[in-house]
Amino acid sequence: MSSPLHPDISVVVPFLNEEESLPELVSWVERVMNENKFSYEILLIDDGSTDNSWKLVEEITRKNSSVKGIKFRRNYGKSAALNVGFHSTNGNVVITMDADMQDSPDEIPELYRMITQEGYDLVSGWKKKRYDPISKTIPTKFFNAATRKISGIQLHDFNCGLKAYRSEVVKSIEVYNEMHRYIPVIAKWAGFRKIGEKVVQHRARKYGSTKFGGLSRFINGFLDLLTIFFVSKFGKRPMHFFGVLGTLMFIFGFLVSFYIVGEKLWFVYMEASLPDGYKSRDITSQPLFFISLVSVIIGVQLFLAGFIGEMISRNATERNVYGITKKIGLD
């Protein structure tokens, strides 16, 4: 049930320099909401625009009290905009979409139905037919495949801006750096496992040009995926990663050193019976000795890194914060 304080739908729209598209997008969303008799709010998150976008937001909010605006002092990125938007929503279902008119608000009713009636925690759009250049589609396919492999989530388009969430999902996760591309992964590792997908329309950009591009976004995206994977697996037990690697490297270095020293002692013991002119090599003249020495040193360093990480983790305030969904018989 919705109420004035908790509308059916919150629409979160992060944007950067989209003065041409904002009025048309908001008008389109309003029409869809009114036609379907949804109670709603629209949150426009200005990620440091330098054009007249914010003036338009001020005009729109004066005309419609369901539209709200948040302006950043400078450009912090899409992840920051989404994170602030998520924690400012009041709706039972949260819809995110880009401001460039490439996402269709006509998809909202079906996304809402999938959350409320089919019980999904998160529904991600899949732009099966895209209007992007090949320089963008090929790297996107690669990263989607890599994300599917690492996360086990069978989505075709992790980076689609058009998504729907139960309110509890967006209140339980934190999105930072460039991790907006991997929100389904973050949600899954936060305990929200019912993740679905819907084929959505991808419209050609009507105004301006893309504000996000370049090779760096794909490199950063891949590094962020590795970060999510590592933190989710070992964030609260770093010794299980660093300690294991450190122990294995230390044992390897120790065994090799033991072998080299043992071999040297055996040659010294057998020196009298060896042929004339046969002399064993000095320990320090063998490359294997330096490999074993480096392995021991790195092993100790990795073990200490895990130990320090474990001590920091044990003293972190959020160490024992868990996602409790229900309580019975407790105040």
User: pLDDT tens string for the chain (331 positions)?
Assistant: 566 678 999 999 999 999 999 999 999 999 999 999 999 999 999 999 999 999 999 999 999 999 999 999 999 989 999 999 999 999 999 999 999 888 999 999 999 999 999 999 999 999 887 766 666 677 778 878 888 888 889 999 888 999 999 999 999 998 887 788 889 988 998 889 999 999 998 877 666 666 555 556 667 767 777 777 777 677 667 888 888 899 999 999 999 999 888 888 887 777 666 666 666 677 878 888 899 999 999 999 999 988 888 787 666 555 544 454 443 444 4
Q: Are 128 and 99 in contact (CB under 8 A)?
A: no
Q: How far apart are CA 291 and CA 326, in angstroms?
A: 54
Q: Which two tokens stand for residue 330?
A: 């407790």
Q: What is the pTM of this model?
A: 0.74
Q: Are 48 and 14 in contact (CB under 8 A)?
A: no
Same domain, 204 and 249: no
DSSP states of 172-197 as a string? H----TTGGGGHHHHHHHTT---EEE
Q: How far apart are CA 298 and CA 73, in angstroms?
A: 44
Q: Is residue 43 part of a domain?
A: yes
> Minimal CA–CA distance to 133: which of 200, 209, 207?
209
Same domain, 105 and 34: yes
Same domain, 216 and 264: no
Domain range holding 177? 9-234
Q: Is residue 39 part of a domain?
A: yes
DSSP secondary structure letter of residue 202: B
Same domain, 172 and 189: yes
Same domain, 243 and 230: no
Same domain, 152 and 48: yes
Same domain, 186 and 309: no
Q: Is residue 319 part of a domain?
A: no
> Minimal CA–CA distance to 85: which of 149, 151, 26, 41?
41
